[in-house]
Every structure is written in C-alpha cells, then in structure tokens.
A and B are shown apart, each in its own frame.
Chain A
C-alpha cells in the first residue's frame, strides 16, 4: 500500500507538472505544435488506481501494453522516468530518441509499450502472453484500455483468442465514462465491460469508486489466476479523468461542477487516510511524497538539459541492419 501511495503521488505530480510544462510556449495563441512539449497531450490525473493497483503485482518480466493516455501505466510499471520525459520533450536521450513522443513510449527493459490506436495494444499483449507460455515461464501480460476500446473489433478478437488458448492475459478497462466526448451510456451496450467476460468464458471483476485498494485486491486474484495457468481476466475499474481528453479540450460535453465534485473523492487522499489509520506516521508519508516529487523534478530537468536529435537522425531506425546472431 505504501508503494501504491508513493507511485500515485508521483504520477499525479508528474501530470500536474506536465500541465504547466505543456502550456509553455503555447500562449498567447494555443498552438498544439509549439512549445516545450509539442503535439497532442493526454493526461491521466485521477486514473492512478487502475495503474498502481495491478502493477503492484507485476515484475519487470511481465508485459504491459497501454493506450494513448499512458503516463500512469508507464510510471507504475517502472519505465525509466528520465528517458520517458526526454522522449515527451522530443530529445535524443528519449526512449525512442525523439521518434515516438508521448503516445509511443517503448521501454523493453521493463517490457512496456503503448500506442495511439484504440484497442490495438490488446493483440500485442496476447502475443506477449503467447510468448510467455511458449517459453514456459510464469510471465503474464496486462493490457490497459479505455472503456471506449471495448467496442473495437480488436478487443473481441483478442479476448476470444486469449480465452481459446488459455493465455495469461489481464485486460484492465479504465472506465472514465467518456470516449473523448461520448459518454459510455451512449456507446456501450452493457453496464460494465466485466460482463463481457461471460461471452468468452473467462473471469471478470468490477472495481467501484476508483478505489486503489479494491483494485489491488481484484488484481491480486487475476494475476495469480494468470500465473497459475487459469487463463485471462477482464477487470473494469470505475475511474475519473480530471482533465480533458487532451490538453486544450474545451470539455463542452460535461458539467462544470463534475470535476470539482470528483476531486473531493480523490483516491490519493483516500489512500492517505487509510495509511494514517493503519498507523503510518505523517513524517513517513511526507518523506515518501518528497521522494516521489524529487524523482519527477529530476526527470523534467534531465529532459530540459538533453539535446534535440540531429535532424538527419530522422532517416535512421526504419530498419535494423544487423542480422540475428546465428543460432544452433
């Protein structure tokens, strides 16, 4: 629980800093391609429980695929925070040498990837789960998606395949209630996507109230099921996105009072109260908060201090020229 708290603080602080940094150079006229961090930016403040609740059970050998809103998953999975930030800044020290950006973070060292196409990471997680099984390991694969992605063909094809082959796959559906502007009630035929587990003959769980502890418990079960060869699970968590779909989103589709109301129920505050009730001293909590913030500050500083790639580097990395080592 302490780990979860520290990670949640780190993620929130990371995203709050990003709000600031992202606005640098975009004023007075909002120009998406201008400033310190160019391009679209999808932030996850409020959605931390989904990421930390399950990543608490994962090792670096487990694979995680994430969607276009990936920072909370990346941080919880242990992606190199400095190189991740440098990538978002478009610097040569970034995870992808500045070729991917914030929606395309790849850190093979902790087996993390994400991508900008809705539901497309699911089949990749199926493949990782296949590889784990073929290699005879107890590694598992977790694919995070939004609730909107559960209506895509890739979701249904992947779950059928994972169920059919009894793969160690967990699909975490983050139900933040909106697919960009369209509410879940207008897009999804079932009340919650864990109900769809029945269609594939696999396990499903629903986590209410954006609760990190409930997410931790549901994940614990799903992870042990996957590691024991008992097949896939869908976990849907009710969560909340405090910010727009992307930075600059006018959010005309929701009530002005919605977010302030949600923030009063903030999962980080709830977990903090729980830890205090469990007897964790305030000084220890503060120390954890400071450590988390320090890591984030250092990552932003590393990104700022890093050089931009040479323009000609754009022509590299289409193909690798190395051939695979001879195998016997």
Chain B
C-alpha cells in the first residue's frame, strides 16, 4: 500500500524543476534561448526560472541560434554549465554547424582537454497539425553524429531525472523532449503527460533503456511517444493472450544494447517503432543490432514501423496516416506473430 501521497507533475514542470534545482545547486548553471525567460519557454520547460533566478541567469536571446548555441559552447569551455534551448528541432538547419562541428567535436579534437558540460534541449514530435517544418523528431540525425549524448525521455519522472543527469554530465547532451508529453494547455491532454515526480533531486542514467512492460511473446522497442502507443497496443494484445514486452529506449546515444538483447533472448521477436523517418533511422540501427548480435535468437524477421519517408503533412487524415499509432503497432505485432 502506498502511504505517502504521490505528487503529480506535467512533463514541462518536471523539466523546469530539474533545471531550477540544478541552478540552485550550482551557480555555473544558466539557461539561454528564445522565449525561455519571461515566457517560460514555448513548451514550458523553463517556467518560473526567470522569477527565481532573474535575467542574468535566464537569458532571452534574439533569433540567432548560431550565436547563442555557439556562445553556450564558448561558455561551457570556460567552466560554465549552460542549457541552451533550440525551440523546435526542425530549426537545426540554421545552427547545425555549431552543434555537430563544434559542440560534438571539440572535446575529441582537443584530446579530451576541453570539456563542454552543456545541454542542448529541443522540442520534437508531431501529431498536432503543425506540418513539415515544426513536427519532426529527427532522433537519428543527432544520434548518428559521435560526440553528443542524445536522450528522449517519455515520462515526467524521466524528464526530471534525465535532465538532472544531463546538467551534471561533463559531456554535451542533446535533450529531446516531446511536445505532446509536456502537458501543455494548448495541446491534446494526454494522461501520459502527467506523472508522479518526487520533489527532491534525483538522477536517471543517460545510457539505460527501461523495460516498461514485461512480456514473453514479442519485444516492442519504442521511443518517447511511440513507447506509450506500444503500451496501449500491448494492453490490447494481452486481451488476446499475447504478452508483449515494451522497452522505452530513452537513450539514443549511447544506446543500451544489453536491455534490447536480453529481451530478445526471452521473446525471440522484435518490432521497432519510431516517430522519425524510416530509412537510415533508429529502427534500422536497432534492427541491425538484432541482426548482428541476436540473429539466432530470432524466430521471425524483424519488423519496423516508422514514418514513411515523406515530409510530415498538415491535414489530419494525412498526418494520422503517416505517424504510427497504437492500432498500427497492434497490427504489426499480429503480422509478426503470424510469421512461420
């Protein structure tokens, strides 16, 4: 029996609480980005920070991603611990040089002599009719380039714990949060965007996947929003006596192969679900891991479900068609179980 009353928080409040606690703990932590001050972040990730820490540590920037992400790099090299927000991940094109040529490579090129303890947080995800330039997830684009840790938490508990870990980590961390899981008033209210979050500071490792549902018949690896859909699909499958194990990948780079492989040894079947594009993406990476290291554990070919290789369309029926949902996951699992 639970005796203590659990405190419930939305995703964005959980993130903001982690940042606030770390700013209090370490005077070197500061936040910068567009509309992260008075507004509290377009997705609410910096709510309340301006009131507490003021404009010297919560810096609203001009629309100059190259300059302020580059400035975060320069400040991190001086021993500060900046958190920069790239408002939508889709905007990476205007500042990717700073991200992959500098943030990701300076520690290596310096032979480990320069550390960049910084967090680049950015919003991902579609499903709200914002079309092709505001709805991408682009997990693989960032996870593909060495030198950045890349995480995509899916619950308020993990958003807080992984943000705390990201701030304390001495490496550059790309922290991708999903708009639909922030608990925003102007988006569809999902139960998954609110969850139990302890008040005290705690950390969640940046390199471990999590088995969110145990099962023996099939493994579904999901990322962020897709994990929640996978759980829904698993519940429906359970009514038919099919027990799906669901893994929330959480950490895209480095990737936790161990948890995936251990699950495959048990279930012998794999479906990977991703909100990013299909080709050359996370589903391909995980399928390759299974093929290289668990081929003989598999009883059926790996199946992948991801965004078909098209830009994200605007109109609801089109968008709903391309972004995987619980029903499609259910159907893919049924097909997988029908193999041989």
| A residues at B contact (CB < 8 Å) | 63, 65, 94-100, 104, 106-108, 111, 113, 115, 117, 120, 122-132, 134-135, 141, 153-154, 157-158, 160-161, 164, 316-320, 322-324, 327-328
* Interface set, chain B 303-340, CB cutoff 8 A to A: none
* Interface set, chain B 109-124, CB cutoff 8 A to A: 109-115, 117
- A132, B78: Cβ atoms closer than 8 Å: yes
Q: What are the interface flags for B216-252 relative to A under an 8 Å C-beta threshold, 1 for contact and 0 otherwise?
A: 0000000000000000000000000000000000000
In the complex, besides A99-B109, A107-B113, 10 extra interface pairs with C-beta distance below 8 angstroms are A63-B74, A63-B78, A106-B109, A117-B97, A154-B70, A158-B64, A160-B67, A161-B62, A317-B108, A327-B26
Contacts of A134 in B (CB 8 A): 30, 56-57, 75, 80
- A127, B146: Cβ atoms closer than 8 Å: no
- Interface bin, chain B: 35 or more
| B residues at A contact (CB < 8 Å) | 25-26, 28, 30, 56-57, 61-62, 64, 66-82, 97-98, 101-102, 106-115, 117, 146-147, 149, 168-171, 254
- B64, A96: Cβ atoms closer than 8 Å: no
- B67, A161: Cβ atoms closer than 8 Å: yes
Contacts of B67 in A (CB 8 A): 122-123, 126, 154, 157-158, 160-161
**Complex Cα gap A82–B111 (Å):** 16
Which residue of chain A lies nearest to B72 when distances are taken between CB atoms in the complex? A127
**Complex Cα gap A66–B70 (Å):** 14
**Complex Cα gap A127–B74 (Å):** 4
Give min CB distance, A203 to chain B, whole Å.
19
Contacts of B168 in A (CB 8 A): 323-324
Q: What are the 9 closest A-B residue pairs judged by CB atoms, nearest first?
A: A123-B70, A127-B74, A97-B111, A157-B67, A124-B74, A127-B71, A106-B110, A131-B78, A157-B64
Give min CB distance, A324 to chain B, whole Å.
5
- B114, A108: Cβ atoms closer than 8 Å: yes
Give min CB distance, B80 to chain A, whole Å.
5
**Complex Cα gap A138–B107 (Å):** 26
**Complex Cα gap A317–B114 (Å):** 10
26 A–B pairs (Cβ distance < 8 Å), ordered by A:
A96-B109, A104-B110, A108-B110, A108-B113, A113-B77, A115-B106, A120-B102, A123-B68, A123-B73, A123-B74, A124-B70, A124-B74, A128-B74, A130-B75, A131-B78, A131-B80, A135-B78, A154-B97, A157-B67, A158-B66, A158-B67, A158-B71, A318-B108, A318-B146, A324-B169, A328-B25
